[in-house]
Structure 1
Amino acid sequence: MTDSCLATKPTLNITQQRQQIRRQMRAKRQQLSAEQQQQAAENICRQALALIAQYDAETVALYLAFNGEISTALLIEKLWQAGKTVCLPRLHPFTAGHLLFFRYDRHSLLQPNQFAIPEPELDLTRLVTKNELEIIFTPLVAFDRQGNRLGMGGGFYDRTLQHLQQRNVIAVGLAHQCQQVNQLPIEHWDVPLSQILVG
């Protein structure tokens, strides 16, 4: 038998592994039915409200669902009804790769960013400082049992969470069960989450 017959498929490096997981998980997410998405959103809403009550949090950062992410619309509505301050992220206009958070209510104006994701307009009167944030709920592409999170690859949340960790902000991922893997390939800049709620 020749050496060529014994050749095996090259092992993927960490970057390739992460990209492969992203493709697989996004495909799984897209396959979920509208009913499954709705059920997941309701399950997440119940869990998130209980967590917010547990910490008696008043200022909560969320996201608007994009590309199959769990919808936060119901949770946002419940938080408004409870008188909580809801914030949404916006790409930092001056510091590349970072996020700012702005108060979001029924009258807030949204505009698509460079990734076509709706974000609040740049109104500094509605800016929420890192010291004001208590809980931040993040989207994710994949997660593991150790609380590791894999995002879309831009590093926006990782950079933001690094700063928020110093202020004891609770970082919570929201995910579908199908997004869980046994162990994610981790890079040194990855920031683990305090908790992950699964819909």
Structure 2
Amino acid sequence: MQQSRQHIRSHIRQQRQQLTPDFQQQAAHTLAQQCLAMPAFLNSQHIALYLSNDGELDTTPLIHALWQQDKHLYLPVLHPFSAGHLLFLHYTQDSVMVNNRFGIAEPKLDQRDILPAAQLDLICTPLVAFDRHCQRLGMGGGYYDRTLRPWFETGQGAKPVGLAHDCQRIEHVPVEPWDIPLPTIITPTTIW
């Protein structure tokens, strides 16, 4: 199964990276419009997003639109003391950014900017692949699976929403016991 999951990751990441800049830009704006019309976004005040990387659907138009609506946005930061876990830091246009060990920009760690995941209203999660049952295949580090486990087990706390390109949908995601399915995945054309 691990070999199958790695093959899927490699194949979908390659497809995602081959999308043209114009296609990426149009998809990002269309996705932002989809999200802004959804009650989950309209009714949320504290929203975790992520900065796109490796061909992921660009979240920049959505981030700017949510700032215009005076939403409080948060970005994931690798936890400095608890390996494999995320912190969520308040993100503004003035946030000082640094690259983490994966080369991904994140807000510079300042404990005054941390909001516990349980206090977020919505957590937008990146993913590599998904299926019609909203099973999510990530990059393999388990960061979001660990973050979402309390919500999955209790139904309390921030609701997760996956964001993806349509080309990331596959017939079946091979599932491991630690994988957390998402209640909703949004692409530029469909809400799953």
TM-score strictly above 0.5? yes
Q: Which has the larger radius of gyration?
A: 1
TM-score, L = length of structure 2? 0.93
1:194 deviation in Å?
Answer: 1.2
Q: Distance in 1 between matches of 2:40 and 2:141?
A: 31
Residue among 168, 173, 183 paired with 1:194: 183
Cross-structure match for 1:175: 164
CA RMSD of aligned residues (A): 1.2
Does 2:1 match 1:37? no
Residue 81 of structure 2 aligns to a residue whose secondary structure is coil
Task: Could you tell me which runs of 5 or more consecutive residues in structure 1 were left unpaired when the two chains were aligned.
Answer: 1-13
Whether 2:1 is the aligned partner of 1:20: answer no
- The aligned counterpart of 2:77 is 90
Unmatched 5+ residue regions in structure 2? none
The question of 1:63 aligning with 2:50 is answered yes
Match runs of 1:67-78 below 5 Å: 67-78=54-65
Say whether the 8 Å CA contact 2:40–2:122 is kept in structure 1: no
> Does the aligned pair in 2 maintain the 1:61–1:136 contact within 8 Å?
yes
Aligned to 1:162: 149
CA offset at residue 55 of structure 1?
5.5
Q: Partner letter of residue 28 of structure 1?
A: Q
Note the C-alpha offset of 1:112: 0.5
Cα offsets for 1:61-111 (capped at 9, x unmatched): 000000100111111111111110000000011111010000000110111
Among candidates 111, 120, 128, match of residue 115 of structure 2: 128
State how far apart, in whole Å, the 2-side matches of 1:17 and 1:89 are: 28
Contact 2:13 2:55 survives alignment (8 Å):
yes
From 62, 87, 99, the equivalent of 2:86 is 99
